[in-house]
Homo-oligomer: A and B are copies of this chain.
Amino acid sequence: MSRAAQLRPVSELASLPVAIDAMGGDRAPQAIIEGARAAQDEGIDVVLVGVPELLGDTLGLEVVACSEVIAMDDDPAQSIRTKKDSSLVIAAELVRDGRACAMVSAGNTGATMGAALLRMGRLPKVIRPCIGAPIPRFDAPPAVLADAGANAECTPQMLLQFAQMAEAYVTARYGTARPSVGLLSIGEEATKGTPMVKETHQLLADSGLQFTGNVEGRDLIPSPVDVIVTDGFTGNVALKTLEGSLKFIMGVLGQVIGTDEETRAAGLTLLGHLMPYADKLNPDTTGGAMLLGLGGVCIISHGSSSATAITNATRVGRELAMAGAVEAIAAAVQTS
């Protein structure tokens, strides 16, 4: 069982650093340290959590030492039980204990969720926390997909809360006044989908949220709504399908451009114009996903995070803490 969350006021968070899991991610610890340093150079207080003898040069950075590492392929539930002195668990404890305003990890997602849930606790009334993942848009802030994979099995009541939490999150993160909410289904009509989805449709229609109805897989990018609600199984499959499709087509483009001298020159001509789009689609720039429903800010950066990804995730973690995101999410669920 997770503990009850202890909410800290923004005034108390303001003086605290962002705790960064130095051991998590495919490019840890080098890329993480580099990203933390860049964040600090921007004026964001950071504290690295890691095993000192594995970290290398951390000159100028505050380090909280731990002795264990949860690997990317460790069993999440087991590893957080047995590796209590791991960087992930300690980072979550720093937030719990009022020693950090937020935590950032590019490590084992399941273990991050577990450690954050166990240490930070769940907000009152929240049935289950979920992952709010950004999906890039060119002409608007990213849309947020919730749940992007925390809960394979969901009830309509859980999905209603995902919508409420993601709505509050979008406002805290992007300043959107009254975010629109869509329900992922297999047709626009309220009668489409599983019984669970149909019941959720009704709950959302009655919720007071800016619910615009169902959206479909083809609406994921670019999304016509600010929040896309779904269960964690469908959300995970859809998000990975989106990522895989973009990667696939980029691979085709790369292959075609590499054909000969002429195509390479043509590719170079287009590259300058493509870059602004590619930048927006690059997961390193979106600043990571947030776990919604916990007693603190926990940012999950993707496994292959670069230093830039970590810097962006750290900035987002700090901004969300300062924006009172956790209090806003707690309030959104309270009113239901």
Is residue A195 within 8 Å, beta carbon to beta carbon, of the partner chain?
yes
Encode A252-265 as 1/0 by CB contact (under 8 A) with B. Answer: 11001101001101
Interchain CB contact (< 8 A) of A233 among B197, B220, B222: B197
State which of B152, B218, B250 has its C-beta within 8 Å of the C-beta of A194.
B152
Closest to A243 in B: B218
From 211 to 232 in chain A, residues with beta carbon under 8 angstroms from any chain B beta carbon are 216-222, 230, 232
Which one of B236, B262, B273 contacts A269 once the chains associate, using CB atoms below 8 Å?
B262
- With A153-B194, A217-B236, A249-B249 given, name 6 new contacts (CB 8 A): A152-B186, A186-B240, A219-B244, A234-B237, A237-B238, A257-B270
A52 interface residue (CB < 8 Å to B): no
Report yes or no: A184 in contact with B237, Cβ–Cβ below 8 A.
yes
Tell me whether A273 and B244 are in contact (CB under 8 A): no
* B217 and A239 contact, CB distance less than 8 A: yes
20 contacts between A and B (CB under 8 A): A152-B192, A152-B193, A153-B195, A185-B237, A186-B233, A186-B240, A194-B233, A217-B242, A218-B247, A238-B238, A242-B245, A246-B249, A249-B249, A252-B277, A253-B274, A259-B273, A266-B266, A266-B270, A267-B270, A270-B270
A103–B218 alpha-carbon span in the complex (Å): 27
B256 touching A273, Cβ below 8 Å: yes
Cα A232 to Cα B242 with chains together (Å): 18
Stoichiometry, copies per complex: 2
Q: Which partner residue on chain B sits nearest A216 by CB separation? A: B240
Give the distance in Å from the alpha carbon of A218 to the alpha carbon of B248 in the complex: 9
Measured in the bound complex, the distance between the Cα atoms of B254 and A277 in whole Å is 12
- Minimum C-beta distance from A107 to chain B (A): 16
Question: Is A149 close to B, CB under 8 A?
Answer: yes
A136 shortest CB reach to chain B, Å: 10
Q: Does A241 contact B (CB under 8 A)?
A: yes
A182-201: CB near B (< 8 Å → 1, else 0) gives 00111000001111010000
B216 lies within 8 A of A237 (CB): yes
In the complex, chain B residues whose CB is within 8 Å of the CB of A259 = 273
B270→A256 contact, CB < 8 A: yes
Chain B residues, Cβ within 8 Å of A185: 233, 237
Q: Which residues of B contact A194 (CB under 8 A)?
A: 152-153, 233
Q: With a CB–CB cut-off of 8 A, which chain B residues contact A218?
A: 240-241, 243-244, 247
Residues of B within 8 A of A240 (CB): 186, 216-218
Closest to A250 in B: B249
Q: Which residues of B contact A252 (CB under 8 A)?
A: 274, 277
**Given contacts A241-B245, A270-B267, A273-B259, A149 and B186 within 8 Å (CB-CB):** yes
Residues of B within 8 A of A184 (CB): 237
Q: Mark A289-309, 1 if CB is under 8 A from B, else 0.
A: 000000000000000000000
CB closest chain-B residue, reference A251? B222
Let me know if A220 and B244 touch, CB within 8 A.
Answer: yes
What B residues does A193 contact at CB under 8 A? 152, 233
Nearest B residue to A240 by beta-carbon distance? Answer: B217
- Which chain B residues border A233 with CB–CB below 8 Å? 185-186, 193-194, 197, 234
Cα distance, A242 to B267, chains bound together (Å): 25
